[in-house]
Amino acid sequence: MLDEHYYPNNWGVRPVLFHFGSLDVQSYPFFVLLGLVVGIAIYYFEAKKQRCLSENGFFLAFGSIAGGIIGAKLLDWSANYRFIIAHIHDLQFLFSGRTIIGGLIGGATGAVVTKKILGIKEKRGNLFAPAVAMGVAIGRLGCFFRGCCYGKPTALPWGVDFGDRILRHPTQLYESLFMLVMFAVLQKVKGGEDIKPGQLFKFLMISYFIFRFFVEFIRVEPSAFWGLTFFQIVTFTALTYLVRDDIKYLIIKLKHYATA
């Protein structure tokens, strides 16, 4: 896995975004932090608009963000466990690496755990969904400028050279654009009367996992099982879990039609 992912320090479209005095502002931390701040701001203003700002809401947001950060690291460590064990003493390797799939799963788990601890009954997924979509859309720009999460070589006119003189799919920008579209869609449908609490976040997760499953085919990722990458297997498993009720309903319907 390391050979395919290795990149030297000058790798990326613009690893250092700008200079602030003697300080080099790295593009990855800049956009990830910007995504986090913008996401929190969207959540805050949306909660304020809907008059549901509360301390519980703050703890729920904090629990989700903490869960997201931990989940993003844990899934990445699971994918690269051999490499992590081999470099356990090197903080640079331990800090680097995270995945948005783990972030989404961890964020949802963090929210569930926080609710259980504090005894919160209300669902806030509809408030979180647009914030998460915009946060990821901005954060992925950091991946693009830094040169991680890149795609396979392509002859398409929008192929990008990340430093090895090979034009590649800018998969980071595909994801960023997808999340921007999702943000617009969520903003459009959020006010609908038939939207159930928490439904928008589930919709965002399902959409992203389907999108990510197909994007993995053009990303530089080694295959884990049956020609699928580790993240494709994770997204498929997560998708199955998310739509389990619909699958059960479909099976009951099919049985009903078969017996009728």
Partner 1 sequence: MPQLNDQKTKPAIPVKINYYTASRMKVADFCLGFFGVLLVLVVLFSLPSLPWLGGSDMISIISIVVMLFCIVQAFRKGRKFIAIGIISIILIPILVLGSCLVF
- Does residue 13 touch partner 1 according to CB under 8 A? no
- Does residue 76 touch partner 1 according to CB under 8 A? yes
DSSP character string of 106-173: HHHHHHHHHHHHHT-----HHHHHHHHHHHHHHHHHHHHHHT-S-B-B--STT-EE-SSS-EE--HHH
Contact map string, positions 21 to 60, toward partner 1, x by CB under 8 A: -------xx--xx--x------------------------
- Does residue 212 touch partner 1 according to CB under 8 A? no
**HSE-up of residue 189 (Cα within 13 Å, Cβ side):** 18
Looking up tokens 């009954």 gives 121
State which residue, 127 or 143, has the beta carbon closest to partner 1. 143
Quote the tokens at residue 7: 């990149």
State which residue, 66 or 242, has the beta carbon closest to partner 1. 66
Question: Which of 99, 176, 232, 235 touches partner 1 (CB under 8 A)?
Answer: 99
Q: Dmax of the chain from CA atoms?
A: 76
Question: Which of 10, 21, 95, 227 touches partner 1 (CB under 8 A)?
Answer: 95
- CB 132 to partner 1: min, Å: 14
Q: Which stretch binds partner 1 (CB under 8 A): 45-53, 79-87, 106-114, 203-211?
A: 79-87
- CB 211 to partner 1: min, Å: 16
- CB 61 to partner 1: min, Å: 11
Name residue 223's beta-bridge partners. Answer: 229
Residue type, 225: F
Distances (CA, A) of 163 to 11, 12, 93, 136: 5, 6, 21, 24
Question: Which of 47, 73, 170, 203 touches partner 1 (CB under 8 A)?
Answer: 73
Question: What is the rounded distance in angstroms from the CA atom of residue 213 to the CA atom of residue 175?
Answer: 12
Question: Which of 62, 158, 214, 241 touches partner 1 (CB under 8 A)?
Answer: 62
Residue 225 φ then ψ, to 5°: -140, 145
For the chain, how many residues are written? 260
State which residue, 44 or 93, has the beta carbon closest to partner 1. 93
Binding site for partner 1 (CB under 8 A): 1-2, 5-7, 28-29, 32-33, 36, 62, 65-66, 69-70, 72-73, 76, 80, 83-84, 89, 92-93, 95-100, 142-143, 146-149
